[in-house]
């Protein structure tokens, strides 16, 4: 049985392995032991805070566990750019007109901005290759079940950066056309700088004026808003939730930044809290659904057969053990996404 739970310090070796396997582009899951340890400690502190007012620097890190092994991870940043601005490109249209020449041109431009600073961010997603769709869905959506149960900890808007296009050698056509000209660093090098140093270096070195897209090489133009094949599965999961590719792009590789109103996401809007009853033989209408307990530091979520009858959620003993619940406790239930 797959189970999602908050990360522990003892998970560090497993998270290092996942970070290395995640490859290029997942900057929120750095292949850096010291940074990963810091993230784990930050997450532990966030889960230990019983009362949260406004969202701040809290970072919640989860792992997907199967048979005692950690096989996936995903995180929530309560407020993107809490310490420093969260930079992205805003895709816009500029109008250049001349009455005398009777010319009116609409030109695609990119403007650097920090509009998304302060939004909730889903990040750090990775599951081992070969795991089925159900495992990926549980890993991704367990975060939203947690948010639904701890709604006061999070703001109104939510985002998720999708990895953009790059090749196996780490060459990003978007980065090569823009960022490389100002940083004189390869895409892989700037990724390391992003992990190791303050993000203010982006504002210090990147151009503050508009980037005129028609002046970029064709390969860079074609990469704008595209999603790396490795991220297509998680992108579908998020789009089925209600996320949309808005007018924002990742500042490094030009990948799409998905945005949504948090309360309109299906898991948040449609999941329901019920008292739980545990029995070996479930009612006939039981079906496979996502279910989580309603605890904080002991949060857990799994996929299990659930029957909701007269407002009571019936689950079997295996699911109860995975969630750490007893009859009379409350659980949150959400239907699976349709394929």
Residue 180 CA, chain-centre distance (Å), reads: 26
Q: Does an H or E element contain 192, and which?
A: helix 187-196
User: What pLDDT shows up at residue 51?
Assistant: 65
In this predicted structure, the answer to whether residue 32 has a pLDDT above a threshold of 90 is no
Residue 189 confidence (pLDDT): 78
In terms of average pLDDT, the best of 54-68, 125-139, 191-205, 306-320 is: 306-320
Model pTM score: 0.92
Average pLDDT, the chain: 91
Average pLDDT over residues 19-41: 84
Q: Is the pLDDT of residue 247 over 60?
A: yes
Whether the predicted pLDDT of 262 surpasses 80: yes
Q: What is the DSSP letter of 216?
A: S
Assign 200 a pLDDT band (cuts: 50, 70, 90). low
Q: Which residues are catalytic?
A: 228
Give mean pLDDT, residues 5-24: 92
pLDDT band at 130 (very low <50, low <70, confident <90, very high): confident
Whether residue 338 is predicted with pLDDT greater than 80 in this model: the reply is: no
Q: Contact at 8 Å (CB) between 339 and 20?
A: no
CB of 255 closer than 8 Å to CB of 161 = yes
Structure tokens at 182: 């100002």
Is the pLDDT score of 86 beyond 70?
yes
pLDDT in tens, 140-151: 999 999 999 999
Summarised one tens digit per residue, pLDDT across range 108-126 is: 999 999 999 999 999 999 9
Element (H, E) at 34: helix 33-48
Query: Are 237 and 111 a contacting pair, CB within 8 Å?
Result: no
Give the model confidence (pLDDT) of 271-283 as tens digits.
Answer: 999 999 999 999 9
pLDDT at 24 (0 to 100): 67
Q: By the 8 A CB rule, do 87 and 203 touch?
A: yes
303 confidence band (pLDDT: 50, 70, 90)? very high
């Amino acid at each position: 049985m797959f189970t999602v739970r908050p990360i522990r310090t003892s998970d560090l070796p497993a998270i290092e392995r996942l970070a290395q396997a995640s490859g290029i582009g997942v900057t929120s899951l750095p292949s850096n032991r010291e940074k990963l340890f810091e993230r784990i400690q930050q997450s532990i502190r966030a889960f230990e805070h019983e009362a949260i007012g406004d969202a701040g620097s809290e970072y919640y890190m989860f792992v997907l566990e199967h048979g005692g092994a950690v096989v996936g991870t995903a995180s929530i940043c309560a407020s993107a750019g809490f310490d420093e601005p969260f930079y992205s490109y805003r895709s816009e249209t500029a109008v250049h007109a001349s009455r005398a020449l009777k010319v009116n041109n609409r030109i695609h431009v990119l403007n650097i901005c920090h509009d998304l600073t302060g939004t909730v961010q889903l990040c750090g997603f990775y599951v081992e290759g070969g795991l089925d769709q159900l495992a990926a869905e549980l890993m991704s959506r367990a975060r939203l079940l947690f948010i639904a149960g701890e709604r006061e900890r999070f703001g109104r808007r939510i985002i998720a950066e999708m990895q953009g296009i790059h090749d196996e050698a780490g060459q990003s056509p978007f980065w090569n056309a823009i960022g490389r000209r100002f940083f004189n660093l390869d895409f892989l090098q700037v990724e390391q700088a992003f992990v190791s140093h303050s993000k203010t270096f982006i504002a210090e070195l990147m151009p503050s004026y508009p980037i005129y897209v028609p002046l970029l090489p064709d390969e860079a133009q074609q990469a704008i808003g595209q999603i790396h094949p490795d991220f297509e599965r998680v992108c579908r999961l998020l789009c089925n939730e209600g996320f949309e590719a808005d007018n924002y792009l990742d500042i490094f590789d030009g990948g799409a930044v998905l945005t949504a109103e948090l309360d309109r996401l299906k898991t948040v809007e449609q999941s329901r809290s019920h008292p739980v009853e545990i029995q070996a033989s479930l009612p006939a209408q039981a079906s496979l659904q996502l279910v989580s307990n309603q605890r904080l530091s002991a949060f857990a979520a799994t996929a299990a057969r659930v029957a909701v009858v007269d407002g009571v959620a019936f689950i079997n003993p295996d699911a109860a053990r995975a969630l750490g619940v007893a009859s009379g406790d409350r659980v949150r239930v959400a239907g699976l996404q349709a394929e």
